[in-house]
Amino acid sequence: MSYYLFIAAAAVCLVSVYVHGVWGRRLYSGFIGNSNLPAREKAVSLVSWDVFTVMLAVSGLTLICVALNPDMKLMAYPIMLMHLGGAGVFLFLILNGHKALIRLPGAFLMGGTGVLILLAL
């Protein structure tokens, strides 16, 4: 059963790589490009967007490795904590006035991935 839960969590991450890294980046880079932020802040913002996409890719690939080799399950703990922590950050910000974040899937995807990993472990 844990194999399928790890694979499901990996699938969520890897689908999110495309959604976040390609489709989302196009939208986000347009918004940032049209903003009045200075050039350095625009660049840093785009880097942070891409770093999150890399985190999703590394998470997904690592979870596949764990699914295929259960002896490596300790590698899943930091990934689980990272996803649950990220969902917690979203929730904290939503509860502190950033209501626009409710419309974004990040909290649900990160929380769901973290719970799938927790159940697999």
- Can you give the residue ranges of every domain in the chain? 2-120
- Per-residue pLDDT for 19 more than 90? yes
- Per-residue pLDDT for 1 more than 90? no
Between the alpha carbon of residue 9 and those of residues 36, 44, 69, 77, 83, the distances in Å are 38, 29, 15, 13, 11
**Rounded distance, CA 91 to CA 101, Å?**
9
Q: Quick one: tokens of 111?
A: 């929380």
Q: Give the three-state DSSP class for 105.
A: coil
pLDDT at position 50:
95
55-65 mean pLDDT: 97
CB atoms within 10 A of CB 120: 22
